[in-house]
Amino acid sequence: LSRSRSVPFIIPPTLHRRDWINLVNEEQVQEDSDPYVIPQSGPRSSFHSLAGAYIVGTINPELYKFPEDKSETDFPEGSIGRLWFSMEYEQESEKLFVSLIKVRKLQPPADSCSPFVKIYLLPDERRYLQSKTKRKTLNPQFDENFVFQVSSKMLFQSTLKFLVYHVDKQKKHHLLGQVTFPLKNETLTADSKLVVWRDLEKEYLEPPSEFGDIQFSLSYNDYLGRLTVVVLRAKGLKLQDESHAASVYVKVSLMNHNKFIKSKKTAAVLGSLNPVYNETFSFKADETELDTTSLSLSVFQNMEGDKTHLLGRVIVGPFMYTRGKELEHWNEMISKPKELVKRWHALCHSS
């Protein structure tokens, strides 16, 4: 192996205590009257004194490189593209400013690609803002700014949704992918712009099932004996009351031998048939009990008073309780310890 060039490592001359002044916050700063020492010019070697500084060794510059931004180079297997955007919120005017920056590595249905983006602020699924169309590029640079009017109370119950489309020669629109970004855990202010990138996801293209569908990830850590569930989103729900006052949440229950062990709930999302949650829950589950353990995910709608209405549920677990996709999801989780395994499931009504 060839050795990389070395850079001299220099220790500065010793500074006496009188060269520094103490500040109230215990930081120290050098007084202006003491300029720093400038190394003398002239030939230098590892044995030359440089105005009181001296060389004690060398540094390998390869070890001190700043980490490069890999968001434009490291794409996951099967990637359909990646989208960059930024946000800031002005509380006084109640405006959310969204900048659509760029999309990279799109996978178009044809040879050429003319992409544009629709931006929604859910739960309002009727209105959207739209970017300009970029002609014949898989890596469109948008740099466009958009404004949503939203109260500070509603902001953290909202979700940004980006739909990336391709326009073909017949002016038909083909959905290439989407990004959903819940705002509930974000700190958004007018003086700090939050820049985010997310990988595009394929929309769930199968027709929705009778009671709707739910997407979640499962992971099991055999070392910690921990079962993790990430409730991602639901789709095509059949709400009893479709007003904006209606709110929907997911209850995740851990069962053993059909005996209830523990349950946890997501926050309720207002007025959406396609709520986004992105909430993570963990349960203790010993590896020896996995053959008798199951998970129930139930979607409830809050009604007037303290009443709730069950919209549907799905149960995942071992062969003792499940078959089909639910059993496949559980077995894949077991076979890939510590990995998050993501799937959609049809909700059903059961007693």
Look at the domain 78-200 and name its fold: Immunoglobulin-like (2.60.40)
Let me know: does 253 contact 280? Beta carbons within 8 Å.
no
190-199, 247-256, 288-297: least confident range: 190-199
Predicted confidence band at 290 (pLDDT cuts at 50, 70, 90)?
very high
Looking at residue 71, what is its pLDDT?
A: 66
Mean pLDDT throughout 16-22? 44
Looking at residue 271, what is its pLDDT?
A: 73
Contacts of 285 (CB under 8 A, 6+ apart): 220, 225, 226, 227, 254, 293
29 compared with 312, residue with greater pLDDT: 312
What digits encode the pLDDT tens for the residues 95-107? 999 999 999 988 8
**All structural domains of the chain with their residue ranges:** 78-200, 212-347
Phi, psi of 57 (to 5 degrees): 170, -165
CB atoms within 10 A of CB 116: 19
What digits encode the pLDDT tens for the residues 313-347? 999 999 988 988 899 999 999 988 888 888 999 99
Mean pLDDT throughout 226-243? 86
CB atoms within 10 A of CB 205: 6
Token pair for residue 294? Answer: 């199951």
Predicted confidence band at 73 (pLDDT cuts at 50, 70, 90)?
low
From the list 200, 113, 204, 106, the residue with the least C-alpha distance to 162 is 200
H or E segment to which residue 328 belongs: helix 324-335
Let me know: does 214 contact 316? Beta carbons within 8 Å.
no
Predicted confidence band at 252 (pLDDT cuts at 50, 70, 90)?
very high
Would you say residue 299 has pLDDT above 70? yes
5-14, 204-213, 265-274: least confident range: 5-14
Q: Which residue has the tokens 């099967």?
A: 78
Looking at residue 207, what is its pLDDT?
A: 64
Would you say residue 37 has pLDDT above 70? no
Mean pLDDT throughout 174-179? 88
Mean pLDDT throughout 240-261? 84
66 compared with 205, residue with greater pLDDT: 205
Predicted confidence band at 348 (pLDDT cuts at 50, 70, 90)?
very high
Would you say residue 50 has pLDDT above 60? no
Question: Percentage of residues in the chain with pLDDT exceeding 90?
Answer: 38
Looking at residue 19, what is its pLDDT?
A: 43
185 compared with 136, residue with greater pLDDT: 136
From the list 275, 201, 269, the residue with the least C-alpha distance to 236 is 275
Would you say residue 258 has pLDDT above 90? no
Mean pLDDT throughout 78-89? 89
Would you say residue 213 has pLDDT above 50? yes
Would you say residue 268 has pLDDT above 70? yes
Let me know: does 119 contact 129? Beta carbons within 8 Å.
yes
What digits encode the pLDDT tens for the residues 53-62? 444 445 555 4
Tell me, what amino acid is at 342? K
Looking at residue 241, what is its pLDDT?
A: 66
Q: Which CATH superfamily is domain 212-347 in?
A: C2 domain (2.60.40.150)
- CA-CA distance, 176 to 27, in Å (whole number)? 53
CA atoms 118, 120, 126, 129: torsion sign: negative
Let me know: does 193 contact 88? Beta carbons within 8 Å.
yes
Let me know: does 105 contact 139? Beta carbons within 8 Å.
yes
- CA-CA distance, 186 to 184, in Å (whole number)? 6
Q: What is the mean pLDDT of the chain?
A: 79
Please state the length of the chain.
351
H or E segment to which residue 178 belongs: strand 173-182
Number of C-alpha atoms within 13 angstroms, CB side, residue 224? Answer: 11
CA atoms 305, 310, 311, 313: torsion sign: positive
Question: Percentage of residues in the chain with pLDDT exceeding 70?
Answer: 74
Burial class (CB in 10 A: 0-12, 13-18, 19+), 347: buried
Would you say residue 199 has pLDDT above 80? yes
What is the Cα 303 distance to its own chain's centre?
A: 31
Question: Do the domains at 78-200 and 212-347 have one common CATH topology?
Answer: yes
Would you say residue 28 has pLDDT above 60? no
Would you say residue 260 has pLDDT above 60? yes
